[in-house]
Amino acid sequence: MPRDACDHCSTGALGKMVWMQFEELLLSNYFPEVVRRKKRAEFIHLVQRNMTLIEYAIKFTQLSEYAPNVVEDEQMRAKQFQEGLRLNIRAQVAPSCFVLTVRLWQGLWLEKGKWRKLKG
């Protein structure tokens, strides 16, 4: 690719877009609106039920991509995560721990994806 083309990409309109705008553009091109609405609703109503904590955290992370405005910051994300936990678990964990827990699961999820790419 010519150097000018690379410079254009990094300084042009694409380079100036914030991540959420890029993500919205990507989702709108590859996932119909009806699918995104369904996934967003699934995220909003997600509860742990019979899932393990790990399964719940993975599902939470996957579905949260469809509802970025619901989890705009870490505290909103932690609150949403907490509200979906089974009551017996929710009662035992201090709310301040949820931010750390959510960060941990996100990190593990990202590392798992990187590990798969390296192995494959």
Per-residue pLDDT of the chain (120 residues; tens, 9 = 90+): 444 444 444 555 555 567 777 777 777 788 888 988 999 999 999 999 999 988 998 999 999 988 988 888 888 888 898 899 998 888 776 655 666 666 677 777 676 666 566 555
pTM over 0.85: no
The pLDDT assigned to 8 comes to: 45
Token match 């719940």: residue? 56
The pLDDT assigned to 118 comes to: 58
Distance CA 35, CA 51 (A): 23
The pLDDT assigned to 48 comes to: 96
What does the angle CA 21 – CA 24 – CA 59 come to, to the nearest 5 degrees? 125
Distance CA 27, CA 85 (A): 28
Q: Cβ atoms within 10 A of the Cβ of 43, count? A: 20
